[in-house]
Chain A
């Protein structure tokens, strides 16, 4: 299970904090600080896994992180998650952010913290990985955004319309016909 997802910048300023296990407010801040302390002193050419923090779950817990430009994306997970799997999930999450914000940068995360949360909710739900397919995640978020655009009494309608479209899919056809043709590869996507 994922215990927490922390995004902070190179100076340790939290940009998105999501705990899936209850910690008191001051404990949360302490975890953020300790995690930042652990992660920030690591070079970029070392492995993306960290063990040995004692705040969340002790020996059963691991930090899996990626460093993108000014931001650290840190997932705190227990032993039931695959290390490399989570590492790629972070990649998926970031690519999704990139797609939704069209060239995401730290400012997007600051000013649209709520939207980042909504995107995250489509990736991880209650500590469990919900969706790993970027297109599917984007589709869900777009569905909600469309609702936003037509806000004002008709909130239910677009969703129903979209679902009607989606329901037209025949079982053997790939899902998400509406975005299925978009197959963008983020250009400089390197595995490490």
Chain B
């Protein structure tokens, strides 16, 4: 038998073997005769009556796709007829099924046969069953409803005594099985782990692994059995179990550290040749098993010195034993090398591994070269010198004829880019981009080039030119955030006004010349970028007439291939530019063309253009030049629409609910949402970000994923990106593990660029290779420029490693993002008590005089209260005429619409004239004394009575105290209080007392807020009778800020999240940040906490969430985020007006400092 094999006509080579192709061609042409002659040796009979044979013969005779389609359709009709015929036997069915499989594999649907495939699997004999199962596993997917019909068959076959049937059942189960039905067969599959036959055990292990992949919870309980499988006496079963362990350890390396020694022992035995000779493959013992074990070991040894030490010995042995003689030993070596570089480093192993990599890279075998480059890319982070060693090889690989090798080399270069070699490397990357036209490479590489350009650009010209190439090559395929971040960089500026100006000027210059060339060849995205830049910055170029630019832009509009999106960008740019006579004419002409466009957006833009070009004053106001340098003050609460809204509401319109809330409510109608804050928010929110209305929800999404949200705080540029950086993972370390695609656009907050490095960059610039006749010298020069600065001491930036880099385009850091502060990075356990809140904020950050526990000494409370009042005293206060004191302070018009604010400012203690009556406080009831009180202010006086009042903030209530002091004998004093904002209830009633002369009577009322307002007022009237019986009355009013009713609310982040979604009233505003040396967010939150008694729930990075309640039990939640140097605040509450009032107080509190 073996000898006959030797004389076989077939030769297994990679090259098209002449013999085999000859045979095939011959057979194909002679197919009809062959089929009837049945001369194929070894193949089963292909009688002329075979239907499949006929079908195949028919197909080979066809010449066009169309004919094939017709033939197959005919065939399918015939199959359909036969399978549904009751007379068809199972044996015929089997044959029909194979034909159906054949048709399906050619891409024609034979869905009618699915049910018959299941029937065949159910009812056929073992052999027919096999066809049935095969057909089912090829036709159906695990979600197909017909699959449920198979469950019983599988159950039956799993219990069969026929090994083949059991095997078939296990195979089909591991191919696809409905997730919900796993419990039904799980016990049977589990049972098979103890089957006497190893093949069954092996298949059962793999089936269980499959279950683990699709439904991990279902197999949770059989982890012990996996261990048993690992210890199985048959190496095959053990090998199968490694699939499971590789997965488990990948998910949780710490849980399986105890197995490290076992895996090492297994590997030792394998390498030592303890397995039966049967396992050898080209005299290498069980190579696939070794590979699997090495992968597991590298996972276990990663960042774990102890585990790593256990495996050093066997790794060493593996490296030595694997002689370079066969493909498969290289496979083992490659895994070994990767393992050595992944685990805790050991120098002599690293040395050997490095040598191995060298052998790979230098190998003439192209597959090995590829792997060598891959390994090099992998290790270059730890060992940049290794790349240096092989620089000449790398240069050669750059010019390799195999695109894949080239691609891998480019990838390697990307990893070793620094400020010195960036120009050469980017050049190489762009060169590769031009030769490799496939989409995937384009998308990937344009992102990387843009990243490098932004990070290391040596000068403006280079940067703009590189980006131009990126835009032209990347076309409309590249990731949309490349143009976005480019424009953002231009508009935000970086190094200083002059540098910014130069960069913009250069961009304008370059774009004008591009437009003068052949703009028709430029991709749409690039045209959009060009229009925007010209619109914004072409005025910087003084010698350039706006009319000239307009004409250039007009040309774009006339081009056929310009999309309507681009046209609207162009029109926008024109709107910004139309100035002076000639340009207005152009603008008019253009707007007339598009004012009747079918595209509504274009029509809108054309309208704008028409109007604004005629009214230059309006244009200057609407589109101020350089306005983007400072974020525009926008009334983000849209309060100017309040009138409209209330009218609409009065007319019966439903109150507005943001989309996510509506969605949430819909979801809640069905089931309770138990998901924590942030995560339950639908991503769809992300798409509704508006430049000046950053939604906290969106921010929460990002904060959930990134602890380092510095980069997230982008100003709403003209093309604000919706999900900037959302994918980013925790911290800097996270970047390192990420695949490179992920780190595009990473900014590295870096210390100042050092002059020496800049010099280096410049010198590298001058070293750009110039073509020389000598190719060898050329390569040398290329090498020196490519690997410039790779020596050990030079700074390297690998995958966004936070090393100091001479980052040219450092974005301005707005609202400095300090990720180093304790608050920023500690995702602390949910704070359930105020004390944990303190921990969260870090004690040092808290004003020491500010208590956080509710039960603290009264003195501190008093201090706190008075501070609170000081803050509010800055508010706009008109004083009622009745009030004796006139603490009139003119202040800027309040954003709040409360008309006629009347403030009986309780304690503006900067007023020295304020009549202080210390003795009155002695009348304060003892139980209130401990809480501290606001200063006692006179309410009204006349000859017989003197009314004073103060309020006391208790934890759960606000007590309003009125002191009535009479100077003459009066009777039947009656006090009535009423308020449109407040609910007044008597605490200690002394409703009607006779007040003897010169005595002080104290009235206490408990106040709760009915309707929130910035200041709430309680008005009252005292009526009394003089001794002579004449009734008298006296009116007064007392005003207190809403903040007196605010108490911190202690909630956990989860509760916060649930509440947030429940509340329907919200408001948003940007507030100024306080930056007095401290980290701005913390400082600001501290002020809010101190002055307004807000409770800090959690601070994550640049975001904080706070909660408070309005007495009693009317919560209000606050979400703030540092954004472009401002604090974006979003308040939500179930109580109408409460968010608006609170935002006012927040504003006051922050401006007060």
CB distance from B276 to the nearest CB of A (A): 4
A47, B405: Cβ atoms closer than 8 Å: yes
Q: In the complex, A82 Cα to B403 Cα: how many Å?
A: 21
Contacts of B14 in A (CB 8 A): 44, 66-68, 190, 192
CB distance from A102 to the nearest CB of B (A): 3
Contacts of B444 in A (CB 8 A): 52, 59
B496 in the interface (beta carbon within 8 A): no
Q: Which residue of B lies closest to A45 (CB)?
A: B366
CB distance from B898 to the nearest CB of A (A): 57
Q: In the complex, A80 Cα to B298 Cα: how many Å?
A: 13
Number of interface residues of B (CB under 8 A): 111
Q: In the complex, A115 Cα to B137 Cα: how many Å?
A: 14
B365 in the interface (beta carbon within 8 A): yes
B287, A54: Cβ atoms closer than 8 Å: no
B41 in the interface (beta carbon within 8 A): yes
Contacts of B5 in A (CB 8 A): 98-99, 102-103, 184, 186-187
Mark B119-137 against chain A: 1 for CB-CB distance below 8 A, else 0.
0000001110011001000
Q: In the complex, A47 Cα to B126 Cα: how many Å?
A: 43
B10, A103: Cβ atoms closer than 8 Å: yes
Q: In the complex, A106 Cα to B28 Cα: how many Å?
A: 10
Beyond A103-B8, A105-B27, whether A52 also contacts B405 by CB under 8 A is: no
Beyond A53-B440, A174-B276, whether A25 also contacts B12 by CB under 8 A is: no
A40 in the interface (beta carbon within 8 A): no
A82, B334: Cβ atoms closer than 8 Å: yes
Beyond A105-B10, A133-B279, A133-B281, whether A117 also contacts B163 by CB under 8 A is: no
Query: Which residues of chain A (156-192) have a CB below 8 Å from chain B?
Result: 156, 159-160, 163, 166-167, 171, 173-176, 180, 182, 184, 186-192
Q: In the complex, A138 Cα to B438 Cα: how many Å?
A: 41
Query: Most chain-A CB neighbours within 10 Å: which of B40, B164, B278, B370?
Result: B164
Mark A87-108 against chain B: 1 for CB-CB distance below 8 A, else 0.
1110110110011011111111
CB distance from B1153 to the nearest CB of A (A): 50
B822 in the interface (beta carbon within 8 A): no
Number of interface residues of A (CB under 8 A): 104
Query: Which residues of chain B (32-68) have a CB below 8 Å from chain A?
Result: 40-44, 46, 52-53, 56
Q: In the complex, A148 Cα to B91 Cα: how many Å?
A: 12
A159, B164: Cβ atoms closer than 8 Å: yes
Q: In the complex, A85 Cα to B289 Cα: how many Å?
A: 10
Contacts of B41 in A (CB 8 A): 102-103
Contacts of A95 in B (CB 8 A): 12
Beyond A49-B404, A188-B11, whether A125 also contacts B143 by CB under 8 A is: no
Q: In the complex, A22 Cα to B279 Cα: how many Å?
A: 33
A155, B162: Cβ atoms closer than 8 Å: yes
Query: Which residues of chain B (170-189) have a CB below 8 Å from chain A?
Result: 170-171, 174-176
Mark A123-155 against chain B: 1 for CB-CB distance below 8 A, else 0.
001111111110110001001100110011101
Contacts of B12 in A (CB 8 A): 68, 91, 94-95, 98, 186, 188-190
Q: In the complex, A14 Cα to B102 Cα: how many Å?
A: 10
Q: Which residue of the partner chain, among A13, A126, A167, contacts B207 with CB atoms under 8 Å?
A: A126
Q: In the complex, A102 Cα to B43 Cα: how many Å?
A: 8
CB distance from A64 to the nearest CB of B (A): 10
Beyond A147-B126, A160-B163, whether A52 also contacts B107 by CB under 8 A is: no
Contacts of B13 in A (CB 8 A): 68, 188, 190
A70, B21: Cβ atoms closer than 8 Å: yes
A80, B101: Cβ atoms closer than 8 Å: no
CB distance from A10 to the nearest CB of B (A): 8
CB distance from A136 to the nearest CB of B (A): 8
Query: Which residues of chain A (49-75) have a CB below 8 Å from chain B?
Result: 49-54, 58-59, 66-70
Mark A1-32 against chain B: 1 for CB-CB distance below 8 A, else 0.
00000000010011011101010011011001
CB distance from B157 to the nearest CB of A (A): 12
Q: Which residue of A lies closest to B408 (CB)?
A: A51
A191, B326: Cβ atoms closer than 8 Å: yes
A20, B175: Cβ atoms closer than 8 Å: yes
Q: In the complex, A187 Cα to B281 Cα: how many Å?
A: 15
Contacts of A121 in B (CB 8 A): 134, 171
Q: Which residue of the partner chain, among B43, B131, B240, B291, contacts A82 with CB atoms under 8 Å?
A: B291
CB distance from B890 to the nearest CB of A (A): 64
Q: Which residue of B lies closest to A190 (CB)?
A: B13
Contacts of A29 in B (CB 8 A): 107
A130, B206: Cβ atoms closer than 8 Å: yes
Contacts of A69 in B (CB 8 A): 10, 16-17, 19-21, 24
A175, B276: Cβ atoms closer than 8 Å: yes
A155, B288: Cβ atoms closer than 8 Å: no
Beyond A94-B12, A151-B125, whether A143 also contacts B367 by CB under 8 A is: no
Q: Which residue of A lies closest to B739 (CB)?
A: A59
B278, A135: Cβ atoms closer than 8 Å: yes
Q: Which 10 A-B pairs have the closest CB atoms?
A: A126-B174, A84-B331, A69-B20, A102-B42, A46-B402, A155-B126, A22-B141, A156-B162, A174-B276, A191-B327
Interfacial residues, chain A to chain B (CB-CB below 8 A): 10, 13-14, 16-18, 20, 22, 25-26, 28-29, 32, 42-54, 58-59, 66-70, 80, 82-85, 87-89, 91-92, 94-95, 98-99, 101-108, 110-114, 117-118, 121, 125-133, 135-136, 140, 143-144, 147-148, 151-153, 155-156, 159-160, 163, 166-167, 171, 173-176, 180, 182, 184, 186-192
Q: A25-B109, A98-B5, A187-B11 are known contacts; what are 7 more A-B pairs with Cβ within 8 Å?
A: A18-B138, A83-B367, A88-B281, A111-B44, A131-B202, A132-B287, A133-B279
